[in-house]
Structure 1
């Protein structure tokens, strides 16, 4: 079992996109009220006095869309400056990144994951739920800006949806050949989008790998990250290909992460809503930090048991109260 040292931090539940797999059409979201979002001071207090003492040293900032969070650069700088921080990264849709990449890098952010589910503007806009002027070009500018600034590794996340973007698998994989970019193919999951999932289904990672293997060949890579991806490389490519396969190749037994929502709920697993801690309410109620830390330590201690149960029971019949954007994907 890996050490549980990786915390995904949702800075905001709002997003400027409405992706099919994250906020399905017809879904009415109740956004967190501003006063219920963890303040920067509360977040840093929890990191410094609760999470770091519990062994967390690796942090990823997520959303919604984290670049919408007021003061995001200051938050990055503060976390980067914690002496115990060994790794700080961010997941973004890159729509606002072109104008912020340099500032984020100078604040201490070094790694970035960008959602790019299509290289075709029409398909991209269909996935992100935008009508009107295409957003693809602005996202591509953000990717180019991140590359030029020096983010390394620069990872592009692709959620593969049957009948929507699965025809682009080879084109997306080819981005790793001439650039030191890491393309990560993610199996479509039923998190708050059960109707869409039942309609579209999902493409197993092995099927994706086989199509790439048939075109170029595929070799396992010595590169390993902090997360659940199985990493491969097209022979001679500068970058890598990662496969996140929760649906077909459960990785619960090697999960080293927990999730903190924008309103302060600590969740031991993306797929688990039964064991959670409401850290914001505890903090604002004046519960001593030592007591909060003790409860977090207990949740960390039972996470391997939660992982084991999920590995053997899967997601069959599970309904989720929050969508991916509300959890902090």
Structure 2
């Protein structure tokens, strides 16, 4: 078991997309009321007084869509300036990034993951679930802006959905040949989308690797990541290819992270809430910080026993009923 030193922080549960694999069309979402979100001050207190003292040094800001959070650039700066912060990253859908990339970089953000599930605007918009004006051009502009200001690594996340975008795997992989970009293929998970998942399932990473290998060849990359991705490279390519295989190749024994939801719940696993702690309620009720630190230490001790494969299901079919945006990225 790796040292657990990586915290994914959801800044907001709302999103300006309704992606099929995250917030399926027609899903009834009970959004967190503004007064129930962690304030900036509360979040910074938890980072400084709880998470850093128990060993967290790396932080990733997620959502929902984190760029919807008011004053997000200032918050990024405050976290980046903490002397104990060794790494600060963000995952975004990129829609608002073109106007914010420079400010975020100047605030101290250096690593960014952007969702790019298709290079075809029509397919992209189908997955994103928003009618009207196409969103693909603005997301692509955000990716170009992030590249231009110097984000490195710049990672592109692709959730592979059979029958929807699995035919674009080679085109997406080709983005890494001439650019120092890192494309990561993610197996489709059953999170709040039981009907869609039951209808199409997922494409195993091994199948994607073989497809790419048959076209160009594939070698293990010297570039390694801190997360669950297995990293490969097309021979001679500037960038890399990552494969996150949570369905076909359980990586729970390598997990080094916990998740803090936008309303202050600390969870040890994406799909297993055993042992979760309501830090916001404890903070607002005046529980001593030393007591909260001890509770978090105890949960860290339980982490090896809490994993994806042992998750408690909300349905008999084994499909998790909450959406990804509610869980927190």
TM-score strictly above 0.5: yes
Residue in 2 that maps onto 1:241: 241
Answering whether residue 224 of structure 2 is matched by residue 217 of structure 1, we say no
* Per-residue deviation, 1:193: 1.2
* Per-residue deviation, 1:317: 4.6
Q: Which runs of 4+ in 1 moved over 3 A?
A: 310-319
Q: Distance in 2 between matches of 1:253 and 1:323?
A: 24
* Per-residue deviation, 1:274: 2.7
Closer/same/farther in 2, CA of residues 218 and 314 from structure 1, 3 Å limit: farther
* Per-residue deviation, 1:320: 2.8
Moved more, 315-324 or 288-297: 315-324
Q: Distance in 2 between matches of 1:283 and 1:35?
A: 14
Q: Distance in 1 between matches of 2:311 and 2:39?
A: 37
* TM-score of the pair, normalised by structure 2: 0.97
Q: Distance in 2 between matches of 1:121 and 1:190?
A: 25
Q: Which runs of 5+ in 2 are unaligned?
A: none
Count of matched residue positions in the alignment of Structure 1 and Structure 2: 327
Is the Cα–Cα contact under 8 Å of residues 259 and 328 in structure 2 kept in the other structure?
Answer: yes
* Per-residue deviation, 1:312: 6.8
1:125-164 paired onto structure 2 within 5 Å: 125-164=125-164
Q: In angstroms, what is the RMSD of aligned CA positions?
A: 1.3
1:154-233 paired onto structure 2 within 5 Å: 154-233=154-233
* Per-residue deviation, 1:89: 0.2
Q: Deviations over 1:11-56 (max 9, x none)?
A: 0000000000001112010100000000000000000000001100
Q: Distance in 1 between matches of 2:9 and 2:321?
A: 19
* Per-residue deviation, 1:319: 4.3
Q: Deviations over 1:152-198 (max 9, x none)?
A: 00000000000000000000000000000000000000011111111
1:228-307 paired onto structure 2 within 5 Å: 228-307=228-307
Is the Cα–Cα contact under 8 Å of residues 253 and 311 in structure 1 kept in the other structure?
Answer: no
Residue in 2 that maps onto 1:47: 47
Q: Distance in 2 between matches of 1:218 and 1:319?
A: 34
* Per-residue deviation, 1:322: 2.2
Q: Deviations over 1:249-292 (max 9, x none)?
A: 00000000000000000010001023211100000111111111
Residue in 2 that maps onto 1:96: 96
Q: Distance in 1 between matches of 2:319 and 2:211?
A: 32
Is the Cα–Cα contact under 8 Å of residues 273 and 320 in structure 1 kept in the other structure?
Answer: no
